Structure 1
Amino acid sequence: MTSLWLDGDRAIPVDDFVPDASYDTVVVGAGITGLATALLLARSGMTVAVLEARSVGAGTTGNTTAKLSLLQGTVLSTLRGQYSQKTVNAYVEANKEGQAWLLRLLEERAVPFQRRDAYTFAVTDAGTDRIRAELAVGKAAGLAVEEAAGDAGLPFSTRSAIRLPDQAQFNPMDVLEALASDFRAHGGVLVEGVRVRGISTGRDGAVRTDAGDVHARRTVLATGIPILDRGLYFAKLKASQSYAAAFRVPASTSIPLGMYLSAETPGRSLRTHPNGREELLIAGGNGHQVGREPSPKARLEELLNWTRHNFPGAEPTNTWSGEDYQATNLMPFFGKMPRGGGKVFFATGYNKWGMSNSIAASLAITAEILGGDLPWANVLHHRITSPAGAAAAVALNADTVKAMAEGWAKAETAEPETETRTVPGEGAGTIVRRGRKPVAVSTVDGVTCRVSAVCTHLRGILSWNDAEKTWDCPLHGSRFTPAGEVLQGPTTERLPAAD
């Protein structure tokens, strides 16, 4: 599975890693948060290096649906259920500022994007209630949100819909390419293929990588979920995986030129993308908690079938998935990391709306480093977790403990490896026992791999993802290739081979 955005031979220029080099700031992660933060700091005159474990955009940014919208499904009304209108207004202002900054960059750098109206639609009475609440809260926050007429241009019946005009969509890799180019033009160093393993907050400011140490006065973690356990943010975030597909649609089938999201579950997301003379349809949704779904492939297939049903003749060109993180208190986290000595900054918890929240976080982190002041950031920093947010955190961690216990119970009763006479079929993975050690065995592209079935973060038992052909941790969302290489954190350590 390869996203539409990552499919191709795009080459973003990068730099060599120089061990023992010193910088004012090291940014870990080359997605939109990392590159935007790095660019802002480099423009201020700082020496900045970005260290990316894989490649630019390989994480969430390159696997998103890339909607830059202030109408975000029913996010605002959900937030209003836990926070004051003042706090919700601050969230909207943060996203407005992030959206405006990114649109200016795209215009200045001549990066293609399309202005589109954003819609939230409902197909049930319960969804209509949510839309009414979203309309009220959006208006109270100063957004020009309005009721949409009829079926909002969709080819199926809806109960209700709301619209926010003049939002935007784009190819996220075009955005990253522009950010990287501007960053390097300001003296920034961009390195791929170097994984950060740890950070020292001592006098030497060592950033420890698998290729040697570098040194920095401060470090910014832009890794989706923090790769450091200080602050225990892994216990405050729910890792979810959603699916997307790009479709060619015959001329006889009309497709709506807007950005759509359903108010109900399973989520349904729609947008288009210009591809030469044709307009591709991008459908997304069917999310679930990472590592908890028996068959992610079935989730993807259900999304494909739904799209084919509603858009006759549609055939997929690309399928992919993206991993996102939702905070138990529903608000993004950004700023200084606890127990970081004032030298470690981070951002996480965008709840699938990273195109604007990421820039907002970058602006806030940069302001904090440079001594600026952003009123909306001050409000968000001083928010108080509601009883509902606290209860969500308790429930999330109770589920995590349950997943840990269930995983080990299954592993201890797995078939002994000595009795296994065959390897898994193509595209399959299974867990067996070698003595008391659980072993993850899979076969992909004709190659059978045997690695430890124990996550290197906090020892959860991994589960096989039959859509992406990966080993996924049901505790905090770490994901690995069949050979054990890290795809996404919070872990930074690969799975040891079992051979």
Structure 2
Amino acid sequence: MRSLWLDTAPPIPSDALQEKSAFDSVVVGAGLTGLTTALLLARAGHRVAVLEARTTGAVTTGNTTAKLSLLQGTSMSTILQHHDAELARAYVTGNREGQSWLLRFCDEHGIAYETRDAVDYATTDTGARRLVAEHEACTTAGLATELGNAATLPFPVRKTLRLKDQAQFHPLEVLAGLAAEFRRHGGVLVEGVRVRGVVKSDSPDVELATSAGPVTASNVVLATGIPILDRGGYFAVLQPMRSYCVALTVEDDVPEDMYLSTDSPTRSLRTALVDGTNYLIVGGNGHKVGHSSNTRAKVDDLTRWAQEYFPTARRAYAWSAQDYTPAASVPYVGKVPAGGGHIYAATGYNKWGMTNAVAASLALAGEILGGNMPWADTLYRTKVSPADALQTAQANAVVGMELVTGWLSGLAKSGTSTPGEGEGRVIREGARPIGICTVDGVQHRVFAVCPHLKGILSWNDAERSWDCPLHGSRFTADGTLLEGPSTSDLATTRR
């Protein structure tokens, strides 16, 4: 599957990495967080390189719905369940700063976006009560939301929560603009180079081990969704979540506002005009990574739902994205614990990365450059805590028990039959779990254990990938690393 955004992306050139390169700052990951942080540092005179293992925007940013909204489902209610009103207001301030900065950048560089109202909607009484609670939470945090019961949707709703004058855009057009401005300030953007770890050194600088050789920097920013270095312990306080999107051509009247359901299963709607074609984008059906045995059905269900209410809808694109839900309900941003003071990270945007990414970038650049942002000091004071780690570990323990129980009870036995096209499964050969799949007529065999913390992988038939149910690492059919805390590919095996 490939997203509408990635398929229609403007060209973003890649630079060459010189041997034994040294920089003031290296940013790992060329998504919205990475490129915004890199640009801010480059504007301040830093020699900056962005290292991207795949291509610019290939992971979360290129697979988002790209809603630049301060109304974020029922996030504010959840934040206030974990934190005080001061932190909630800081969250809103930071996201508003991020939204304003990005819209101002788009205005200055001729990048198109559309102003839209953001609307949460409920179709049940339970959902309506959640919206009332979210409205109260938003009011406490300083958001001027409006309760109502009218929506331009082709089905009845019980209640709506509206925030006016939010925005939507094409995320790869934004990344292309950021990359061009970053280069104009002397920045280096290198695709196809994977950072594998940090080399221990007596030097105050950080030496990164990469697939292209060593790279040295005074500061390193991990903008990789989930940080690739375990020293911060972030993987222990994040739940990796997978969700799905379809872009459909529609001749029916479609709602112009950006909609999000508060009831389950989640339904997200927005429009997009790309290369002269109008699309309706429908998202939802999220689940923990590696916890669904039939992901393809989740994509088909979104299409079916769209066609039920928009009969002329025809699916043109389908894709999925990965997000990380933080145990603390707010992002973890700042210096990495045990990172020696030179390594920074931003993670845990909880599916609201467009505003949170830029807010994190402003805070990270400010911290590196010696600036002062009171809202950031309040918002990002939440660090990885033992209590959060315990909560996440308890959730993951269920996964681990399911894996062990299934394995020992013989649910994954040796077999000789070849999986059908697009299918995959894990079998047992002696004491080894082996993943076997068939993609484009080619059979692949991999050692089906995640290199990160040894979770047994599951097959994702929608993305045709091997996914780890513990911390969200993902691999192609032939074992090549796609994303997650792992930094190495899967071992292949022969029969």
Q: TM-score, normalised by structure 1?
A: 0.95
The answer (yes or no) to whether the contact 1:460–1:474 under 8 Å persists in 2 is yes
Give per-residue Cα distances to partners, 1:59-84, cap 9 Å, x unaligned. 10000000000111111112112211
Give per-residue Cα distances to partners, 1:403-443, cap 9 Å, x unaligned. 223324434535654x51x3110000011222211110000
Task: Flag the 1:73–1:416 CA change in 2: closer, same or farther, 3 A.
Answer: closer
Alpha-carbon distance in 1 for matches of 2:12, 2:423? 34
- Cα distance, 1:276 vs. partner? 4.4
The corresponding residue for 2:476 is: 481
The answer (yes or no) to whether the contact 1:335–1:347 under 8 Å persists in 2 is yes
Note the residue ranges of structure 1 that are not aligned, 5 or more in a row: none
Alpha-carbon distance in 2 for matches of 1:449, 1:354? 34
SS in structure 2 opposite 1:5?
helix
SS in structure 2 opposite 1:230?
helix
SS in structure 2 opposite 1:279?
strand
1:243 maps to a residue whose letter is: Y
The corresponding residue for 2:489 is: 494
SS in structure 2 opposite 1:293?
coil
Give per-residue Cα distances to partners, 1:200-241, cap 9 Å, x unaligned. 363152111011111111100000001000121101000000
The corresponding residue for 1:312 is: 311
The answer (yes or no) to whether the contact 2:332–2:382 under 8 Å persists in 1 is no
SS in structure 1 opposite 2:230?
coil
Give per-residue Cα distances to partners, 1:307-337, cap 9 Å, x unaligned. 1111112111000000000101111010100
SS in structure 1 opposite 2:4?
coil
Alpha-carbon distance in 1 for matches of 2:153, 2:238? 34
Alpha-carbon distance in 1 for matches of 2:165, 2:47? 37
Alpha-carbon distance in 2 for matches of 1:223, 1:239? 13
Task: Flag the 1:185–1:265 CA change in 2: closer, same or farther, 3 A.
Answer: same
SS in structure 2 opposite 1:226?
coil
2:435 to 440, 450, 461: 440
Alpha-carbon distance in 2 for matches of 1:282, 1:39? 30
SS in structure 1 opposite 2:299?
helix
Alignment partner of 1:223 is 2:224: yes
The corresponding residue for 1:213 is: 214
SS in structure 1 opposite 2:279?
strand
- Cα distance, 1:296 vs. partner? 1.2
Q: How does 1:165-176 map to 2 (within 5 A)?
A: 165-176=164-175
Alignment partner of 1:5 is 2:2: no
Question: Which stretch of structure 1 is more off in the superposition, 79-88 or 184-193?
Answer: 79-88
Alpha-carbon distance in 1 for matches of 2:270, 2:123? 18
Alpha-carbon distance in 2 for matches of 1:367, 1:17? 27
- Cα distance, 1:392 vs. partner? 6.3
Alpha-carbon distance in 1 for matches of 2:470, 2:140? 38
Note the residue ranges of structure 2 that are not aligned, 5 or more in a row: none
The corresponding residue for 1:452 is: 447
The corresponding residue for 2:239 is: 238
- Cα distance, 1:92 vs. partner? 0.2
Q: How does 1:139-150 map to 2 (within 5 A)?
A: 139-150=139-150
Instruction: Give the root-mean-square deviation of aligned CA atoms.
Output: 1.6
The answer (yes or no) to whether the contact 1:472–1:479 under 8 Å persists in 2 is yes
The corresponding residue for 2:300 is: 301
Alignment partner of 1:197 is 2:196: yes
- Cα distance, 1:395 vs. partner? 4.0
Q: TM-score, normalised by structure 2?
A: 0.96
Alpha-carbon distance in 2 for matches of 1:399, 1:425? 33
The corresponding residue for 1:400 is: 396
Alignment partner of 1:290 is 2:300: no
- Cα distance, 1:148 vs. partner? 3.4
Q: How does 1:48-197 map to 2 (within 5 A)?
A: 48-150=48-150, 152-197=151-196
Alignment partner of 1:431 is 2:446: no
The answer (yes or no) to whether the contact 1:56–1:192 under 8 Å persists in 2 is yes
Alpha-carbon distance in 1 for matches of 2:473, 2:12? 26
Alignment partner of 1:280 is 2:279: yes
The answer (yes or no) to whether the contact 1:243–1:321 under 8 Å persists in 2 is yes
The answer (yes or no) to whether the contact 2:149–2:157 under 8 Å persists in 1 is no
The answer (yes or no) to whether the contact 2:328–2:382 under 8 Å persists in 1 is no
